[in-house]
Structure 1
Amino acid sequence: MSSLVEAPPDRRLATAAAAVTVVLWASSFVAIRHAGTEFSAGALSLARLGLGSILLGAILLARPKPEVAVRRWPARRDWPPLLACGLLWFGVYNLALNEAERRLDAGTAAMLVHIAPLLIAVLAGITLGEGFPRRLVIGGLVAFGGIVVIGTSTSTGRAETWGVVLCVTAAVSYAVGVVTQKPLLSRLPAAEVTWLACTIGAVLCLPFAPTLVSEVRSASAGTIWWVIYLAAFPTALGFTTWAFALRRTSAGKMGITVYAVPVVAIALGWIFLGETPALLALAGGALCLGGVAISRRTR
């Protein structure tokens, strides 16, 4: 009986954490839009992941002693999935997406990158034994249809080949990173997994350190603050709340939830950047939210 009583609050916490992640990741598109005017893809990735790693490490060290006593260093079997998550999701994904958005319009990039949630659902169903629940499949297809509608309404219709390759690379890296992260969360604290993966991604981006130093010197104070925001909130906090929610639900369901990110990003762009969305984009956003609702609905 006790498990039945405790389950609903746990689900509510997971839902709240997922909602925080969606809003923070959506806000990152606004921040990247500003920061990308003065920082190159590699330098921006290193700044975001490096600062995020420092902030997450400081949070871990500042934890009360009882929690520190429980913390342990990852076992040998934990390192392969940790390296895969850090290198692919935190490292390759950021580098590929930042560079792709310099070559493609927002609509085309949105359609290509958001094949990732469907890939997550498929990979999780096969490798993690989550299967393919009917609601998840229907919700995923409906939400993906919304992404296609959004992309169609905001795309210029021209796509550079290298930009398409980079977007698909980002999507695959994202999907594999999520699926490798899920088993780790049953053995390690979410904050620790996030910090280690973020640090691994930052190490991958270290070759861009000279470029970052040069661009920081010439960047405006406002742009630098946007980079700090990216590191502190969408990265340090957003990936931690994601890991918290992922630990308490399936990878497939969490992947489909990410389809709400473009919808929130459109709203934030409308509010903060004055980018008025097309009516077709709003219709696509409604489809995305409907698909997410279907996938997360429980009997």
Structure 2
Amino acid sequence: MAPEGPATPSARATLAGIGLMCLAVTSFALTDASAKWLSGHINVLMVVWARYAIHFVVSLAVFNPWSVPGLLRTRRPWLQLGRSALLFSTTALNFAALQVLQLDQTVSIMFSTPFFVALMAGPLLGEWVGARRWIAILVGFAGILLVVRPWSGGIHPAAFLSLAAAATYALYSITTRMLVPYDSSPTTLFYSALVGTIAATLPLPFVWQTPSEPLVYGGMLFLGAIAGAGHFVLILAHARAPAATLAPFIYTQIIAMVALGWLLFGQVPSLWTLAGAAVVIASGIYLILIERRTRRHAP
């Protein structure tokens, strides 16, 4: 057998896309870890504001009405506003849950997003769930139950905040797909940052607490910058590899979350959480494989 030659440009691009996807989800893990640390020093609404305001300022350097003509032009303004509001709600709910829950718990619950998408895609997109998808959804929710363990009597209400964040993120994902035929990606990204910044700024005068430690200011800057960088790297990943190829690598985020939870907060995941996360990930990957096979055989 002849030795294998160098990777083709398409193969190299795919590998680069996978690497960028892993870097993006690591950035998202750092975002959550930063938010959890900051919420112990300042009001959680200030944390949400830092995430959006700094992200918005940084993103203006790449996407602005001068460098991207027609950036503000949208054919579906109400859908853009609704999608941006859903992303803001997801961030606020997730950051609120992070005040109490461990990093590995929140990410495990957030991994239920594909199941909510599958449930909502029928009435909203006309993509109805078949028998195999229903089985995957039920198994996935069984994994969530392993994480929150309602039978133990120790379930914290914050788990429901995290579950609500997964539901709003699923609606955000669906509205993003609905916007694709109408608006460009830079327009959609710009409105997400703009609406989130405005929504986070409105309650700021009522909750503002001047940080007493310079490190908190640094944490706020890092939070917004790493969140913005993560979304930018995510775009670069999707420009190099198909979404179906990248999707399973989203689950590598739990590795980063477990590591950060242990290093920064001394949080060791329980066997229940690890088992539940494994079930959720397996079910999610099965849903991805079904979706990939369905698209491959579509006329």
Q: Deviations over 1:58-80 (max 9, x none)?
A: 12259xx9xx46x4235453312
Displacement of 1:126? 4.0
Q: TM-score, normalised by structure 1?
A: 0.73
Gaps of 5+ in 1: none
Q: Which structure would you say has the larger Rg?
A: 2
Preserved CA contact (<8 Å) 2:75 2:182: no
User: Among residues 23, 26, 38, which one is paired with 1:23 in the alignment?
Assistant: 26
Q: Which has the larger displacement, 112-121 or 43-52?
A: 112-121
Counterparts of 1:55-94 in structure 2, within 5 Å, are: 55-61=58-64, 68=67, 71-89=69-87, 91-94=88-91
Distance in 2 (CA, whole Å) between partners of 1:95 and 1:222 is 22
Distance in 1 (CA, whole Å) between partners of 2:249 and 2:17 is 12
Residue in structure 2 matched with residue 184 of structure 1 by the alignment = 179
Residue in structure 2 matched with residue 195 of structure 1 by the alignment = 190
Distance in 1 (CA, whole Å) between partners of 2:263 and 2:254 is 14
Counterparts of 1:203-218 in structure 2, within 5 Å, are: 203-211=198-206, 214-215=208-209, 217-218=210-211
Distance in 1 (CA, whole Å) between partners of 2:121 and 2:16 is 22
Q: Deviations over 1:191-248 (max 9, x none)?
A: 4422221110111122233256x42x32422222222222112x21223444566795
Q: Deviations over 1:26-53 (max 9, x none)?
A: 2222112211111212111111101111
Preserved CA contact (<8 Å) 1:51 1:232: yes
Distance in 1 (CA, whole Å) between partners of 2:235 and 2:140 is 22
User: Among residues 108, 118, 121, which one is paired with 2:118 in the alignment?
Assistant: 121
Residue in structure 2 matched with residue 227 of structure 1 by the alignment = 220
Change (3 A) 1:22 1:151: farther
Counterpart code for 2:96: E
Bigger helix fraction: 1
Change (3 A) 1:86 1:130: same
Q: Deviations over 1:92-142 (max 9, x none)?
A: 22223333444x544775676554331122223443345547776665555
Q: Secondary structure at the match of 1:157?
A: coil
Q: Which has the larger displacement, 110-119 or 197-206?
A: 110-119
Displacement of 1:82? 1.2
Displacement of 1:285? 3.5
Counterpart code for 2:76: D
Aligned residues: 279
Counterparts of 1:240-279 in structure 2, within 5 Å, are: 240-242=232-234, 249=243, 261-279=253-271
User: Among residues 38, 46, 50, which one is paired with 2:53 in the alignment?
Assistant: 50
Displacement of 1:265? 1.2
Displacement of 1:257? 6.6
Identity %, equivalent residues: 18
Gaps of 5+ in 2: 1-7, 294-299
Distance in 2 (CA, whole Å) between partners of 1:94 and 1:135 is 31
Distance in 1 (CA, whole Å) between partners of 2:148 and 2:250 is 16
Counterpart code for 1:236: G
Preserved CA contact (<8 Å) 1:35 1:223: yes
Distance in 1 (CA, whole Å) between partners of 2:186 and 2:57 is 13
Distance in 1 (CA, whole Å) between partners of 2:192 and 2:29 is 21
Counterpart check, 1:171 vs 2:166: yes
Q: Secondary structure at the match of 1:59?
A: coil
Displacement of 1:264? 3.4
Give the superposed CA RMSD.
3.9
Counterpart code for 1:73: L
Displacement of 1:291? 3.3
